[in-house]
């Protein structure tokens, strides 16, 4: 190491998180910054103004992503940040934490006139959540950015985020370098049988579409676990038709999703799910279809950037283990364009998309400091000549 | 045997069935005689007028049941009949067949001046189906009748009905004496877990209410069959809350019903169902309740009247086996007040509550003739002195 590591301003970090949490807050501090609504645009305005301190500047791109960096620098830059929009009735950390932490890291490096400061850009992505009317599943700002020529000026992307799940707390972890982001496939299971009198029709003469649907919802867990213990699945919606206690369901639907760390695992789970569905339908004399309604590919993060993130996390705490992200993030899209990695801090109780979302101040500070560490180390690792030159010329 | 058995008038039977089928018929001959509507009251009017032939008379009781019998008789009477109301878009046989067949039997006996003719009364029950607004689950007319002093003047009740199921056709039966009517219990299964992110929440930390519900819907069949192979069950309605593919269901509901030939079997199935529900809920870290929302006791028919019905059926055809009724009937209620039995003819394809309801003319005629046989034999068996006296005095 040939550069020093300044400490972040913890007080300012927590104050700014609190300030942003007030924009769009409704009853019980639940936050409503749906992408593009007044609160979301007010939050972007606050980020923009906050980052226009002496020596820094800020700007919107064509799709309302907000960027900030030092004035009069020419890159290449390391991009850090997250999204500032939320789901309805959200918590104050999902996205916002990564944005405010990135703002804090840039300002700390800038104030200490650290040589990497000229090579850091922060971002607050637009519409990660996909709740905005007309959104095509979210990740709107980051997806647009992958086609923006400005991406050529960047050499890596690091995103800090709350875990949004209970794994870290369960395992007593302070920090988790993230190896990648699960791919997500959604399915609509449609079963057709024959509605019939639930009393007079013997079991063996039924074509019970509801039973096929219930069997699929029951077996999904086993199907996932048999193929990949790290995969998860969920049967979230189910309905029978006609819906009457005394009528054998003539049709049934299940909406389900599957998440796994590689596309190969997703392929195998899909095949196993399809095999089970057809077997169950056959046994119940029904017809069934497994319709894939959406598919987000799995993201496996860049080895070098991930390696740096893991290294700095382990230097800050022994309570640190690699994790796969089971939630989608802008980093997933950006990883198709730039060397990318992420790091997580724990979510108390695993709650997210809820006003019960919480992370201790200690972990919020630790995560931001680790992000700053990772920014310096990534610069040293990916651009050693640039920073050396900088050190010698400053 | 000391009385002769006249043949019914098959032509009149089929003509009258066809005539009644036109009252309340809509598109595709589907029938809409909801109890108390204009069509239902017009049908009662037609029955009333049709039975006021020379020597017979007809009357309504306080709840619009329509009765007919010979003039100037003093009982006791054997009651035969069924209901003339229908579900919406019904077939032309459910209920109506038993009413028209009873009308035919009385008229035949009356025309032949058979000694039993003085001791037969026909009935068209009001609101069997329970579709009428304000109906408390149907069987309104027969239930009221059990509290009517006129029931004291009757010595038995026999109801002829279409099977409304596929069992007889499957087994190649012409006639089936009915041993009893299943009891029906309905349940509302309520499961409470914890809604959570379907990606970030590992399987072992979920409280998946949906999975508990799906497991119950899946296992219901096994639970019934393990306890009583003649029982049936149906999970007809299911819902998860919140209903989203990416949210682990935090609550779930299933509406189900169970039918069995004895209340003891129903008790045992209920216990097994409750045990399974609590086990599954425990395994998924959920809370669950099995709420019984309704219960109709099983009816086991009178040994003597059933014995007569079985005897006359076997005399008419070798293709005859006892059957349990899996659908409810007025006979179930009447059996709590009078010695009761039923007999079935086959339903083509098992269809009922549908304009696809059908029974061959041969079976319609055979069933009506068997009902006439049963009426005479029941009189001879239960009231031998009365008929002998009659024979000697006429």
**Residues whose CB is less than 8 angstroms from the CB of residue B42 and which lie 6 or more positions away in sequence, other chains included:** B23, B24
Shortest CA distance from B352: residue in chain A: A197
Annotated binding-site residue? A234: no
Q: What CATH code is assigned to B183-295? A: 3.30.70.360
| pLDDT, position B251 | 97
Judged by CB atoms closer than 8 Å, whether chains meet at A217 and B225 is answered as no
The string of pLDDT tens digits covering residues B157-196 is: 999 999 999 999 999 999 999 999 999 999 999 999 999 8
Which ranges in chain B are annotated with CATH 3.30.70.360?
183-295
Judged by CB atoms closer than 8 Å, whether chains meet at A350 and B221 is answered as no
Mind listing the pLDDT tens digit of every residue in chain A (394 residues)?
Answer: 456 899 999 999 999 999 999 999 998 899 999 999 999 999 999 999 999 998 999 999 999 999 999 999 998 999 999 999 999 999 999 999 999 999 999 999 999 999 999 999 999 999 999 988 898 889 999 999 999 999 999 999 999 999 999 999 999 999 999 999 999 999 999 999 999 889 989 999 999 999 999 999 999 999 999 999 999 999 999 999 998 998 999 999 999 999 999 999 999 999 999 999 999 999 999 999 999 999 989 999 999 999 999 999 999 999 999 999 999 999 999 999 999 999 999 999 998 888 899 999 999 999 999 999 999 999 999 988 776 655 544 4
Does residue B35 contact residue B142 with C-beta atoms inside 8 Å?
Answer: no
| pLDDT, position A1 | 43
Specify the DSSP element, H or E, that contains A272.
Answer: helix A263-283
Does residue A192 contact residue A209 with C-beta atoms inside 8 Å?
Answer: yes
Which ranges in chain A are annotated with CATH 3.30.70.360?
184-295
Annotated binding-site residue? B83: yes
Contacts of A238 in chain B (CB under 8 A): 210, 213-214, 238-240
Q: Which of A274, A353, A212 is nearest to B250 (CA)?
A: A353
Judged by CB atoms closer than 8 Å, whether chains meet at A232 and B256 is answered as no
Residue from A161, A214, A284 whose CB has the most chain B CBs within 10 Å, to mutate: A214
Contacts of A352 in chain B (CB under 8 A): 197, 200
| pLDDT, position B75 | 87
Q: Max alpha carbon distance in chain A (Å)?
A: 90
Cα separation, A218 vs B212, in Å, equals 8
Q: Which residues of chain B have pLDDT under 70?
A: 1-3, 387-394
Instruction: Name which of B198, B213, B238 is nearest A236 (Cβ-Cβ).
Output: B198
Judged by CB atoms closer than 8 Å, whether chains meet at B217 and A236 is answered as no
Contacts of B210 in chain A (CB under 8 A): 217, 235-236, 238
Q: Which residues of B207-219 are buried (b: 16+ CB within 10 A; e: fewer)?
A: bbbbbbbbbbbbb
Shortest CA distance from A259: residue in chain B: B199
User: What is the dihedral angle through the alpha carbons of B264, B269, B274, B275, rounded to the nearest 10 degrees?
Assistant: 100
Annotated binding-site residue? A259: yes
| pLDDT, position A389 | 56
Judged by CB atoms closer than 8 Å, whether chains meet at B350 and A248 is answered as no
Contacts of B236 in chain A (CB under 8 A): 198, 210, 240, 243-249
Residue from A188, A209, A216, A246 whose CB has the most chain B CBs within 10 Å, to mutate: A246
The string of pLDDT tens digits covering residues B85-122 is: 999 999 999 999 999 999 999 999 999 999 999 999 99
Q: How far is A214 from chain B (nearest CA, A)?
A: 5
Contacts of A186 in chain B (CB under 8 A): 245
Judged by CB atoms closer than 8 Å, whether chains meet at B214 and A210 is answered as no
Annotated binding-site residue? A186: yes
Annotated binding-site residue? B161: yes
Annotated binding-site residue? B94: yes
Q: Which residues sit opposite A177 in a β-bridge?
A: A343
Q: How far is A67 from chain B (nearest CA, A)?
A: 29
Instruction: Name which of A166, A201, A215 is nearest B205 (Cβ-Cβ).
Output: A166
Residue from B164, B170, B218, B252 whose CB has the most chain A CBs within 10 Å, to mutate: B218
Cα separation, A362 vs A171, in Å, equals 17
Instruction: Name which of B217, B232, B243 is nearest A210 (Cβ-Cβ).
Output: B217
Annotated binding-site residue? A94: yes
| pLDDT, position B394 | 41
Judged by CB atoms closer than 8 Å, whether chains meet at A199 and B221 is answered as no
User: What is the dihedral angle through the alpha carbons of A80, A84, A89, A94, rounded to the nearest 10 degrees?
Assistant: 0
Which ranges in chain A are annotated with CATH 3.40.630.10?
10-181+298-393
Q: Which of B86, B154, B71, B150 is nearest to B124 (CA)?
A: B86
Judged by CB atoms closer than 8 Å, whether chains meet at B197 and A327 is answered as yes
Annotated binding-site residue? B246: yes
Q: Characterize the bridge pairing of strands A77-83 and A154-162.
A: parallel
| pLDDT, position A385 | 77
**Fold classification of A10-181+298-393 (topology level):** Aminopeptidase (3.40.630)
The CATH number of domain A184-295, selected from 3.30.43.10, 1.20.1640.10, 3.30.70.360, 3.40.50.450: 3.30.70.360
Phi, psi of A263, rounded to the nearest 5 degrees = -65, -30
């Amino acid at each position: 190491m040939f550069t020093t590591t300044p400490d972040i301003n913890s007080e300012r970090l927590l104050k700014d998180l609190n300030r942003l949490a007030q924009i769009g807050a409704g009853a019980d501090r639940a936050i409503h910054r749906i992408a593009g609504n007044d609160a979301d645009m007010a939050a972007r305005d606050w980020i923009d103004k906050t980052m226009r301190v002496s020596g820094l500047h800020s700007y919107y791109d064509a799709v309302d992503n907000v960027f900030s960096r030092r004035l009069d620098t020419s890159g290449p830059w390391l991009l850090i940040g997250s999204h500032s929009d939320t789901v309805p009735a959200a918590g104050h950390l999902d996205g916002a934490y990564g944005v405010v932490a990135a703002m804090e890291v840039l300002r700390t490096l800038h104030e200490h006139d650290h040589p990497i400061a000229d090579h850091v850009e922060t971002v607050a992505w637009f519409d990660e959540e996909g709740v905005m009317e007309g959104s095509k599943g979210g990740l709107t700002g980051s997806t647009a950015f992958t086609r923006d020529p400005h991406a050529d000026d960047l050499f890596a992307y690091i995103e800090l985020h709350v875990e949004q799940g209970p794994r870290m707390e369960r395992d007593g972890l302070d920090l988790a370098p993230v190896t990648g982001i699960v791919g997500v496939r959604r399915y609509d299971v449609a079963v057709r049988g024959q509605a019939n009198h639930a009393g007079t029709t013997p079991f063996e003469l039924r074509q019970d579409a509801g039973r096929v649907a219930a069997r699929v919802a029951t077996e999904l867990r086993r199907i996932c676990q048999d193929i990949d213990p790290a995969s998860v699945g969920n049967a979230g919606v189910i309905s029978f038709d006609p819906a009457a206690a005394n009528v054998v369901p003539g049709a049934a639907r299940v909406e389900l999703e599957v998440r796994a760390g590689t596309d190969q695992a997703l392929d195998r789970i899909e095949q196993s799910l399809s095999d089970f569905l057809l077997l169950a339908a056959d046994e119940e004399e029904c017809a069934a279809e497994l319709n894939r309604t959406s598919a987000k590919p799995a993201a496996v993060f860049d080895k070098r950037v991930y390696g740096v993130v893991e290294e700095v996390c382990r230097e800050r705490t022994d309570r640190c283990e690699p994790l796969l992200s089971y939630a989608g993030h802008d980093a997933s899209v950006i990883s198709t364009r730039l060397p990318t990695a992420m790091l997580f801090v724990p979510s108390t109780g695993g709650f997210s998309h809820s006003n019960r979302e919480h992370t201790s101040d200690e972990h919020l500070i630790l995560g931001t400091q680790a992000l700053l560490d990772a920014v310096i180390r990534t610069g040293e690792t990916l651009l050693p000549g640039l920073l050396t030159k900088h050190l010698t010329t400053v």
